[in-house]
Chain A
Amino acid sequence: MKATRPAWEEKPTIGGQALKGTSIVVIALLILFPLYTIALTSLSSGETVNRVGGLVIWPGDGVTFSAYEQMFRNPVVLRSLVVSLAVTAVGTVISVVVSILGAYSLSRPGSFGHKSILFSVLLMFVIFPGLIPVYLWVSAIGLRDNYLAIILPMAVSAFNVVVLRAFFMSIPQELFDSARIDGAGEFRVLWQIVTPLSKAVIAVVTLFYAVGYWNNWFNAFLYLDDTSKWPLALVLRTYVVESAPLPQASGLQDAPPTLAVKMAIVMVAIIPALIIYPFVQKHFKKGVIIGAVKG
């Protein structure tokens, strides 16, 4: 009897290839078209935006960077950019380190408080402590108006810990045994065996954390009273969400239209993620899929 192969291992038919190609093109357009209109609107003049009455689809009277100029002339935006970069960098380092340590210990049988800690971590998938209890807790430990208030409450994601743990558990036990025979302690095993083998999943988790910190505005809204400490996401949000005229816009004849500035802000907010994703994407399949199904 002739061995049969699964359908996806067969050579695709011409029709199948056409369908696949069309699907990919359509999906790509669905993603690229909104980006294109946002970018084009952010570069359009007031006349074009007013004539169109919304997002610009066809290029109008040339390109202008006035919306970007206006945004970055504002010292509040510049300062918040620095805050965001710092918070994202520090927060991501803290999150990744703590998550790796936690996931590693939870991947090792018999570690201290193993079951109860793992149960607590898994419980976080189904129970959210609620806005007010977290606020009271952050206030009680004196973190109000402190940058740590926008880092510590979101420092550890249960999802990321579980993904890391699952990945660590897929590493052959023989490697651990060999390392121990060579006299390696837990930290050496983690640093010299586990971490190098887990670059893919660590890259993915790092990206998750970094994007999370970069986009998070709500904790800053709750805990940071001083506007000079606000991160970019919160500052830009006030520009995008509010309908009031923007600074440098009211009363000036050559000011860029509000919609263009809002779209420029959207571009600034998503550009870091757009830049980073291609570099991390290659790790995605390996990092997330393996991490998700193992264990």
Chain B
Amino acid sequence: MGDTSSKAPNFKIQRRGLFQASAAGAVAASLAGCAALDEGPEGTAAGSDELADLLPTYTPYEGGIEPDLPGQPDGTVTPGFLSRPAEPVKAITEPVMTTGEDITAITPLWNPTPPGLPDNSYFTAVNEILGGTVVFNIADGNNYLDKITTTLASGDVPDMFQIPGWEIINLSDFGEAANELFADLSPYLAGDKAAKDYPLLASYPTAAWAMGVFGGKLLGIPWERSPYTNALFTRQDILDELGLEQPKNLDELLAVAEEVNDPSKNRWAFASLDNTLQEVMGVPTLWKVEDGKLVHKFETESFAAAIEFVRNVFDKGLVHPDYVADRNTNAKEIIGSGQAVFFEDGLGAWHEMFQTYRNVEGFNLQIVDPMPREPGGTPTIWRDDPAGMFCFIKKDLSEERVKECLRLANWCSTPYGTVEYDLVSDGVEGVHFIVDDQGVPQRTELGQTEVAPTYMFLSGRSNANMKFQYPGMVERLHEWETNAAAFLDPSPFQGLRIEMPSDLAAENEPMKEAHHEIYRGQREVAEWAQIVDDWRAKVGDSAREYYTKIAEDNDRL
């Protein structure tokens, strides 16, 4: 082909012009999209005491079934159920949806996609019972932040909108946006109003409700959360085979680890190790008070000691190579295949592992009791926020519509042992699930395709310890929580609703990366002090100032 350059359009882009244009465009794009996101919250705090006028009065729900193992009202011990009730209780008899209008909802999904209406008999059946149609806009939970930001920016929010707390921390000025878009629920719920009209919502702990206050107004219906963030688990069948006992303190943990570690047999002691070891050492969840001053966990001697200990464990070759190579490796698969004996995870991982590895002969995973650094010592069990997710109701709906949404939230909050709980969790008995010999609902093929966690995100629900199909799990978990409750972090900010400043939150991941590099020998243990000094100069001191003020304002210092 001939050279046609001489005939080409005479069009030249000047570098300077292009740069100016791109800068202008970037500014325009930024302004157009400024509804939410770039910096995250600057941080706010409020104590549940001063919020008392806004919140529902805690009123235990009396209409459910009695647990076999009682829980604690503050949520530190979950009520345990050793079997399924012969006849689930019908908790709500009044009609739920009465206006004849649909309720639209955006909810996250961490499961495979269900069919939508009208091809989903689960939605159809539940809607029929509710007396109206809930139209779900289901969004992939792993990219939910994008859904939230675009929806909030458009201002076109649904009637009910589930927003997790871990996404809210990424949204700057969320309180302001929420006050613009979502209804103030105090006029409907504050004081004794909730107990009268929405008794299941009134049964949430006050601390959980306090988390639902944004910008000074009660906007979010909280999803109650267990206070425990993680635990150490062990392949008990391997310990039994080797004639070993579960460790009771740090020295025993190291001794057992060295005993079970045998790379020649493709078996290592740990598939993962990080947070639980810090708990053993007594590292606080975030801050502790020493000599009347706040000390961040990174600054504590116990954190440095934990790093040194774990580095030693790595150096001894007690950690599975996959975890050495990648801290985000799937430790569950390593444990399931018997290539490691200990790993740490959330409490929910326990029954998930039994479910996944039910066909592995002899598979027995057990939870390890909180252990102290030395015999007779005291570990610290990290305390999670009392609520993790929030359901918001659209502002400017009529009073009757807001009440209808609250009735729906109340209905979706029904606890274990009720007919409504079954409907929300598994659909219609005989259609979407059957109850097996052990009393466990098992989804039918239709149920497995159509039932997805959706209605449950229109509210929260009380936790229940009820995986009784795995022998001994309910009792052992109840026992573990009872033991662990005594060691829950006595945080100076207990009961306060604090939004972490975004600059402090932004440093969490680099700090995690740094101490994992020490674990893996990429940096020396001695470097940790300098890393903390740098962190202190960058965000630590200003964060301390911020948290100190909150503590002083709330008489915690």
- Beta-carbon contact of B443 and A132 below 8 Å: no
**Known interface pairs A170-B4, A250-B355, A250-B443; A238-B112 also in contact (CB < 8 Å):** yes
Among B18, B337, B356, B358: residue with most chain A CB under 10 A: B356
Contact with B along A110-136 (1 / 0, CB 8 A): 100011001100110011111111011
Contacts of B32 in A (CB 8 A): 129-130, 132-133, 136
Q: Which residues of B contact A248 (CB under 8 A)?
A: 445, 448-449
Query: What 0/1 pattern do residues 41 to 55 of A give for CB contact below 8 A with B?
Result: 000001100111110
Give bound CA distance, A75 to B36, whole Å: 37
Minimal Cβ-Cβ distance residue in B for A242: B110
Residues of B within 8 A of A74 (CB): 112, 449
Q: Chain B 100-115 against A: per-residue CB contact (8 Å), 1 yes, 0 no?
A: 0000000001111111
The segment from B19-27, B62-70, B370-378, B516-524 that touches chain A is B19-27
Contact A246 B112 (CB under 8 A): yes
Tell me whether B334 and A53 are in contact (CB under 8 A).
yes
Give, as a whole number of angstroms, the nearest-CB distance from B332 to chain A: 8
A19 within 8 Å of B (CB atoms): no
Give Cα distance in the complex from A52 to B116, angstroms.
Answer: 37
Instruction: Label chain B's interface by main secondary structure.
Output: mixed
A174→B154 contact, CB < 8 A: no
Q: How far is the CB of A128 from chain B (nearest CB, A)?
A: 7
> What's the nearest-Cβ distance from chain A to residue B197, in Å?
31
Q: Whole-angstrom distance from the CB of B507 to the nearest CB of chain A?
A: 25
A278 CB–B CB distance under 8 Å: no
In the assembled complex, the Cα of A201 lies from the Cα of B242 at a distance in Å of 66
Q: How far is the CB of A75 from chain B (nearest CB, A)?
A: 6
Instruction: List chain B residues, Cβ under 8 A from A170.
Output: 1, 4
Pick the interface stretch among A5-13, A96-104, A219-227: A219-227
**Which residues of B in the span 1-59 have a Cβ within 8 Å of any Cβ on A?**
1-2, 4-5, 7-11, 13, 18, 21-22, 25-26, 29-30, 32-33, 35-36
Q: Is A109 an interface position by the 8 A CB rule?
A: yes
Q: Of A127, A131, A253, which is within 8 A of B25 by CB?
A: A127
Tell me, rounded to whole Å, the shortest Cβ–Cβ distance linking A52 to chain B: 6
Taking CB as reference atom, which chain B residue is nearest A167?
B1
Chain A nearest CB from B329 CB (Å) reads 9
A218-254 residues at the B interface, CB under 8 angstroms: 218, 221-222, 225-230, 234-235, 237-239, 241-251, 253
Asked whether, in the complex, the Cβ of A221 is within 8 Å of the Cβ of B147, the reply is: yes
Say whether A127 contacts B26, CB under 8 Å: yes
> Given the complex of chains A and B, what is the CA–CA distance between A247 and B4 in angstroms?
60
Contact between A221 and B33, CB atoms less than 8 A apart: no
Could you tell me if B142 and A227 are in contact, using CB atoms closer than 8 angstroms? Answer: no
Q: Write the nearest CB–CB distance from B222 to chain A, whole angstroms.
A: 23
The minimal Cβ–Cβ distance linking A139 to chain B, given in whole angstroms, is: 5
For B11, list chain A residues within 8 Å (CB). Answer: 114-115, 118-119
Bound complex: CA A239 to CA B113 (Å): 8
Task: Report the minimal beta-carbon distance from B76 to chain A, rounded to whole angstroms.
Answer: 27
- Nearest residue (CB) in A for B109 is A238
Let me know if B99 is at the binding interface, CB within 8 A. Answer: no
Does A295 count as interface, using CB distance less than 8 angstroms?
yes
Judge if B119 is at the interface, Cβ distance under 8 Å.
Answer: yes
From residue A93, how far is it (CB to closest CB) to chain B in Å? 27
Cβ-neighbour of B143 out of A54, A218, A227, A259 (below 8 A): A218
Question: For chain B residues 90-149, which have a beta carbon within 8 Å of chain A?
Answer: 109-116, 119, 137-143, 146-147, 149
Is A173 interfacial (CB-CB < 8 Å)?
A: yes
Q: A118-B11, A127-B21, A238-B140 are in contact. List 20 more A-B contacts (CB 8 A).
A: A47-B359, A50-B359, A53-B334, A75-B449, A130-B29, A131-B146, A133-B32, A136-B153, A172-B1, A218-B143, A234-B113, A238-B109, A238-B111, A242-B110, A243-B110, A247-B448, A247-B449, A248-B448, A248-B449, A295-B8
Question: Can you list 26 residue pairs at the A/B interface with Cβ under 8 Å?
Answer: A46-B359, A50-B359, A51-B337, A53-B336, A54-B322, A79-B115, A108-B9, A119-B11, A129-B29, A131-B33, A133-B33, A169-B8, A172-B4, A173-B4, A173-B7, A221-B143, A227-B114, A238-B113, A241-B140, A242-B112, A242-B142, A247-B112, A248-B449, A251-B443, A257-B356, A259-B333
